[in-house]
A and B are shown apart, each in its own frame.
Chain A
Amino acid sequence: MHIIVPIKQVPETSNVKMDPVSGTMLRTGVETVVNPLDLYALESAFRLKEQHGGVGTITVITMGPPQAVKVLKEALAMGCDQAYLISDKAFAGSDTWATSYVLSRAIMELGAYDLIIAGERATDGDTGQVGPGIAAWLDIPAVTYAAAIESTDAGFVSCSRMVEEGYQQVAVQLPAVITVVKEIGAVRLPTLRGKIRSRSAEIPLIDAGKLSAHKPLWGLSKSPTRVVKIEQTTVKREGKTVVVDEHTPAEAAADSFMEFLAEKHIILGDRHA
């Protein structure tokens, strides 16, 4: 079984502080990490390979600047078998349409595969569009929001999709793209052996030249969407504070709660609306 896992490097946010005045994220000196949701994609791939008695290959790929090698090394340390960096100045400025195209063409250069497993979305762009986009470009099925993946008959997997109504159970023919959510399971840590191996691992580059057999539908100029304005958000909140202490009993705090609901015309007992 050959599983390809496309991952993305995103800014590390767990230690980020908020600017108390503007209410925005302080991003100076922010490190990059593997997109947290992509870790679940990697984990799913490892588990599927284990279900197959450890037989198979897991290929991790990322599209980004040369520094993105760092997240590939991390994925190798966790247990991926090989990694490719997809990087070229010509790819810069690609939107989700162009990015999914580049990824799909790079995947075509990797030979036969059974599954492409991706995170449901990246925590920075937050679009969730690249997974289904890759499937569309490759003309293979897309199963999104998978909370569980199980190999069933040869050539099929069954997935449980987390949707608004609960879970939708589907069977999908391979090859397919599956995007996963956190419920897939706890993510494993890199092993020491993996870390040592990843340090010396060779990571081949896929640049525009390697994709010369395909139409160059990448970069800003080929991207259908354009960002025309970026604004910092300012959070305008009333900011009323009630402190429960020796002067203010909890009862008074609860009263403030009730008054707030009344002021905002929040209707109670409207549970079946």
Chain B
Amino acid sequence: MHDIWALAEQHEGVIKQVSFELLHRGRLLADSLGVRLVSLVIGHSVSSASLDELIARGADEVLVLDDERVSDFVCETFSNILVRLVREHRPHTVIAAATSTGRTLMPHAAIKIGTGLTADCTELRIEEGTGNLLQTRPAIGGNIMATIKTPHHRPQMATVRPKSMLPLPRDASRKGSRVNIELHLEDIDERVKVQGYRRDPSGANPVEEADIVAAGGRGLKKGENFTLIQELADELGAAVGASRDAVDRGWIGYAHQIGLSGKTISPKLYIGAGISGSVQHLAGIKTAENIISINSDPHAPIHQIADLSIVGDLFTVIPIVIRKLRQKNREVR
């Protein structure tokens, strides 16, 4: 009763990194309330080691529903399970990562449960005295921070922006319990059938999950020049991002678009090359920890919000950076 619940996500039996980040959030909330942190895993063939990892990273209890019929995310089925468990256990708060899954499941379940939900929070804390969850999120393109609460409905629900907090360090000595949950026949919604997956051919490293993002824009002049950004990204272990301009020109797929009509990211480092920095693009990178801009135009707006602005020709500067990174990488290995 009144625990903090954090939803863990898995793909093909592997728990996603965002779920460990989320446990850190949950741990802080549970500690400030003096309650337990429960991790809910719905999936199939999740290894025992992965489940132990959830405990090592902060969970007190792991609820596992392991069944072949829930190996893939289907909103209605997952929502049926979540709603049933919430009604049964009455948690204080339910949080999920603001991923494609979290941002689909949580609004559906919140309606069914009859409670409020705040999207894409970057800060969560407990209000003293009331136990209300203070949910802070960027809005209007990151230009304002809104703090929202759900005073009269329980549980309180929020999705949390990926990369907005690091996972707790692994602590193998932590103790926790594991509880298996049965799938009920009525949980399964037959109206949606998952037929399979197709990988993004332009790279398996999604921008919203990357620690470093190297992005290119119109300044690249043509699509083939994205290879320069790809090379830079390879040396940095980074994901490749793009401005809307570059995507609209067909230089790279929409999955890479950063900004108001693309993805909002919070990497440790964002590098924008040949990107002028429209209001919309900047909205997508405001919560990046560090920003480096490379643009020959000294008046490009991106320079105004960068920690390091390089005013220079990207075709000259980036190859030198790549060379230096290669050298450095060789030293490390």
Chain A interfacial positions (CB closer than 8 Å to B):
11, 13-14, 16-18, 20, 23-25, 36-37, 95-97, 100-101, 123-133, 135-137, 140-145, 147, 158, 160-173, 176, 181-183, 223-233, 235, 237-244, 250-251, 253-258, 260-261, 264, 266, 268-273
Which residues does chain B contribute within 8 Å of A97, judged by CB atoms? 110-111, 115-117
Given contacts A225-B149, A226-B149, contact A167 B200 (CB under 8 A): yes
Q: Chain B contact residues: over half helix, strand or loop, or mixed? A: mixed
B282 at the interface (CB under 8 A from A): yes
Task: Check if A161 sits within 8 Å of B100, measured CB to CB.
Answer: yes
- The 7 A-B pairs at the shortest CB distance, nearest first, are namely A244-B312, A271-B237, A224-B116, A136-B111, A225-B116, A129-B107, A127-B119
Task: Check if A37 sits within 8 Å of B261, measured CB to CB.
Answer: yes
B103 at the interface (CB under 8 A from A): yes
Which residues does chain A contribute within 8 Å of B255, judged by CB atoms? 162, 183
Using A164-B208, A168-B73, A176-B191 as known contacts, list a sample of 16 further A-B pairs with CB atoms less than 8 Å apart, ordered by residue number in A: A13-B279, A14-B280, A25-B143, A124-B141, A128-B107, A129-B103, A141-B76, A164-B100, A166-B197, A167-B199, A229-B147, A232-B144, A233-B138, A237-B306, A254-B323, A258-B325
Which size bracket describes the interface of B in this complex?
35 or more
B145 at the interface (CB under 8 A from A): yes
Chain B positions 92 through 120: 1 when the CB is less than 8 Å from some CB of chain A, otherwise 0: 00000001110111111111101111111
Interchain CA distance A224-B138 in the complex, whole Å: 19
Of B108, B200, B212, which one neighbours A142 at CB under 8 angstroms? B108
Which residues does chain B contribute within 8 Å of A132, judged by CB atoms? 75, 104-105, 107-108, 111
Which residues does chain A contribute within 8 Å of B333, judged by CB atoms? 269
Which residues does chain B contribute within 8 Å of A13, judged by CB atoms? 141, 260, 279-280
Which residues does chain A contribute within 8 Å of B310, judged by CB atoms? 241-242, 244, 253, 256-257
Which residues does chain B contribute within 8 Å of A25, judged by CB atoms? 140-141, 143, 279
Which residues does chain A contribute within 8 Å of B117, judged by CB atoms? 96-97, 129, 225
B183 at the interface (CB under 8 A from A): no
Stretch in contact with the other chain, from B23-31, B56-64, B222-230, B314-322: B314-322
Which residues does chain B contribute within 8 Å of A124, judged by CB atoms? 139-141
Which residues does chain A contribute within 8 Å of B69, judged by CB atoms? none
Stretch in contact with the other chain, from B44-52, B170-178, B284-292: B284-292
Interchain CA distance A242-B292 in the complex, whole Å: 11
Interchain CA distance A130-B153 in the complex, whole Å: 19
Interchain CA distance A255-B208 in the complex, whole Å: 28
Interface centre among B109, B140, B195 (most CB of A within 10 A): B140
Can you list 29 A-B contacts with CB-CB less than 8 angstroms, sorted by A residue number?
A: A18-B304, A25-B143, A36-B261, A97-B110, A101-B111, A126-B120, A128-B119, A129-B103, A130-B107, A132-B105, A133-B110, A160-B198, A162-B254, A164-B99, A164-B208, A165-B204, A168-B72, A171-B193, A225-B149, A226-B151, A230-B145, A231-B145, A232-B143, A237-B291, A250-B312, A253-B317, A257-B324, A264-B269, A268-B237
Which residues does chain B contribute within 8 Å of A235, judged by CB atoms? 286, 305
Interchain CA distance A129-B257 in the complex, whole Å: 21
Which residues does chain B contribute within 8 Å of A239, judged by CB atoms? 304, 306-307, 309
B residues 188-213 in Cβ contact with A at 8 Å? 189-200, 204, 206, 208-209, 211-212
Interchain CA distance A235-B237 in the complex, whole Å: 27
In the complex, the number of residue pairs spanning A and B with C-beta atoms less than 8 Å apart equals: 302
Task: Check if A264 sits within 8 Å of B290, measured CB to CB.
Answer: yes
B residues 238-253 in Cβ contact with A at 8 Å? 247, 253
Interchain CA distance A94-B60 in the complex, whole Å: 37
Cβ distance B253 to chain A, nearest Cβ, rounded Å: 7
Which residues does chain B contribute within 8 Å of A129, judged by CB atoms? 103, 106-107, 110, 117, 119
Task: Check if A126 sits within 8 Å of B119, measured CB to CB.
Answer: yes
Chain B interfacial positions (CB closer than 8 Å to A):
11, 16, 72-76, 79, 99-101, 103-112, 114-120, 134, 138-153, 189-200, 204, 206, 208-209, 211-212, 234-237, 247, 253-255, 257, 260-262, 264, 268-269, 278-280, 282, 286, 289-292, 298, 301, 303-313, 316-317, 320-321, 323-325, 328-329, 332-333
Task: Check if A123 sits within 8 Å of B261, measured CB to CB.
Answer: yes
Interchain CA distance A231-B308 in the complex, whole Å: 26
Cβ distance A187 to chain B, nearest Cβ, rounded Å: 11
Task: Check if A95 sits within 8 Å of B116, measured CB to CB.
Answer: yes
Of A11, A128, A137, A255, which one neighbours B111 at CB under 8 angstroms? A137
In this complex, what residue of B is CB-closest to A229?
B147
Interchain CA distance A24-B140 in the complex, whole Å: 10
Task: Check if B146 sits within 8 Å of A227, measured CB to CB.
Answer: yes
Cβ distance A53 to chain B, nearest Cβ, rounded Å: 26
Cβ distance B95 to chain A, nearest Cβ, rounded Å: 15
Interchain CA distance A113-B84 in the complex, whole Å: 29
Task: Check if B237 sits within 8 Å of A269, measured CB to CB.
Answer: yes
Which residues does chain A contribute within 8 Å of B264, judged by CB atoms? 126
Of B192, B278, B279, B311, which one neighbours A241 at CB under 8 angstroms? B311
In this complex, what residue of B is CB-closest to A25?
B143
Task: Check if B119 sits within 8 Å of A258, measured CB to CB.
Answer: no
Task: Check if B308 sits within 8 Å of A242, measured CB to CB.
Answer: yes
Interchain CA distance A140-B283 in the complex, whole Å: 33
Which residues does chain A contribute within 8 Å of B116, judged by CB atoms? 95, 97, 223-225
